[in-house]
Amino acid sequence: MKLQKTLLLLVTGLSVASLGLAGCATQERDFEATAQTPTATPATQAQERPGDVPYVPTPQPVVDAMLNLAKVRKEDVLYDLGSGDGRIPITAAQKFGTRGIGIDINPERIQEANANAQKAGVTNLVQFRQQDLFKTDFKEATVVTLYLLPEVNMRLRPTLLRDLKPGTRIVSHAFDMGDWKPQQVQNVDGKTIYLWVVPENPPANLK
């Protein structure tokens, strides 16, 4: 009887001890995982709603031509509305030292763009924000780039004309803005790009 009791105590003690060890190991793993989570890249959140445009990147020669058409310089502040993998603001930062802000509704695109900015060594100049472009304040822009869709350009047009400073350049890949006639149109490798300059007093029919 006494032997049985001793054995029972021994077995129970061992189980409690091993549970405790397993708990410690789990805690240690959790701690390691937390400690290794990178903090330099801003966190993204769940996508608030589906985007208005699918992701299709602008080919690099077209990106270069868009920046040249807008005569982008170091002093500019460039906003890419629907920035995808970030190539337009990143290229402007690399080539001209321009400060750029990319807006995208999709958290995967924001993560990709942040990783690309790191690789390109321009995180001091570019910032990517997970936002709906229809809710974004882009008044400070001196250059706006777009690769959206015709109806999205048209929905955006009144805000562009109301909020942007006169003289701000807008460049769009592939799609125009209806009866707002562009100042220049170029063909690059079979793709069309358009340039508008925000006027001092936009005609009433454009607003």
Ligand X SMILES: C[S@@+](CC[C@H](N)C(=O)[O-])C[C@H]1O[C@@H](n2cnc3c(N)ncnc32)[C@H](O)[C@@H]1O
58 binds ligand X (CB under 6 A): yes
Binding residue for ligand X, selected from 69, 72, 78, 83, defined by CB under 6 A: 83
User: Which helix (H) or strand (E) covers residue 188, if one does?
Assistant: strand 184-188
* Number of residue whose CB is nearest ligand X: 82
87 binds ligand X (CB under 6 A): yes
Size of the site for ligand X (CB under 6 A): 23
Query: Side by side, which strands form the sheet with 99-104?
Result: 126-130, 99-104, 77-81, 143-146, 169-173, 191-197, 184-188
Q: Please, are residues 165 and 171 in contact by the beta-carbon 8 Å criterion?
A: no
56 binds ligand X (CB under 6 A): yes
Cα separation, 30 vs 34, in Å, equals 6
Binding residue for ligand X, selected from 69, 93, 101, 103, defined by CB under 6 A: 103
Binding residue for ligand X, selected from 96, 138, 147, 196, defined by CB under 6 A: 147
Cα separation, 184 vs 171, in Å, equals 10
Give burial (CB, 10 Å; 0-12/13-18/19+) of 94: middle
Interface stretch with ligand X, choices 45-53, 69-77, 92-100, 182-190 (CB under 6 A): 45-53
Binding residue for ligand X, selected from 41, 97, 127, 132, defined by CB under 6 A: 132
153 binds ligand X (CB under 6 A): no
Q: Please, are residues 142 and 169 in contact by the beta-carbon 8 Å criterion?
A: yes
Q: Which of residues 2-41 bind ligand X (CB under 6 A)?
A: none
106 binds ligand X (CB under 6 A): yes
Binding residue for ligand X, selected from 133, 156, 160, 164, defined by CB under 6 A: 133
- CB 17 → ligand X: shortest distance, Å? 53
CA distances from 142 to 11, 20, 31, 103, 163 (A): 75, 61, 45, 15, 11
Residues that bind ligand X (CB under 6 A): 51-53, 55-58, 80, 82-84, 87-88, 103-106, 109, 132-134, 147, 173
